[in-house]
Chains A and B, each alone.
Chain A
């Protein structure tokens, strides 16, 4: 081999080696890319199951990126110390990126915080976020980070607990357009509200400094700094039952604050009105007294546009009817529970839902499969609309959260959507608002002939988001 041939072969060999190296690297890159895509697919499949709420289908799961140099054995050891199960390392994406599963009953957020606190060995930790399949939230949608959101099937039904996907009020689609307005006030006429609840406190109405204390000509001055108490004028409307707090949370628990649940309105002002006692019962007189208060405040410039009334009886009261009518004249929508007697309200009316007034909306309850709840009253003429009302998670006393069922729970779903509508149409009249709600339903087969509109409320349609 002459000198020229030698260098020619050497150059060729070096070229082949480099090409082989490049090809190998390309194969490794392709393999890594395929692996990453596979991991991504697996994550998307799994996060439907593990969404940070272990109660749904599995335990809480987190993704943790350990710092360089922390061995796999050490990672397993740390996980064991925290009662977490080492699931997998995504070595093709990043050494030290692992999935861990909680085994001691914590939420994904809590577990992530635990690992975030180990700054010496952990770069970051995050809950395994829910990824919504397209069919569960079609079109544009806006998510919330509230810790228990995955259990709020009425806002996003992905089939949790045996429900039917999309049998919900389409809240995520509505939120693209509006998440509520703190200029708007919704009165919750009930057992009061735990106005100090951490998921409600920021959305509670308080009497503005420039608005005088309420003084009734006959009864005297009321303690109305945070609402109204018709049972005891010297006390504020702190809830001693839980029912009113539950209804308030459905309408306006603070949204996207990483705490508890999301209200239909992330921002709104809830005006607590107490007339139901600690047992959840109250008198017609006290209900009228509270409505009288709302009208007074409205006339003095307080922008209360909706009263949510999750109560009633079969006893007709002309005085109560007159009070509600007057509220309508003042521009206030009155949303009321159709009742829980499994009866035809056209034949046996339930009041106040049964008053034939332009500002009254009567609400039936649905389960998570779009079926009329077994307990719910119905009425092709007198019950106007249906909304989720079974196993509804919301705020409760002592800063807690609890599921409850009833047309009581369906009523604030509609009141909440009405508030969303007003947040984008603040000048809308009561008549227009009521009609908008009734025109925005999703027709449901099981409601044909049972409810005037034959449908479930749709927040997205109501606010014009779809």
Chain B
């Protein structure tokens, strides 16, 4: 894994300093992070806790906290708290 993340960073810096990516491939790379994150979140999140609904609630809480610009740790803790709460309410 270290190799796979290191080589794509080392390679162009050392060797391909003259390489110009076409607009298409630059857009491709631009869209990779949101695409990857979405693929990771859904539908995987539905299996996260014993109940899909509670998991979705956790996800929504995380989304709201993220939208309100809280830092990552706070976001994660909020989602955990929400899931914890709901698991005992239902």
Partners in one complex: no
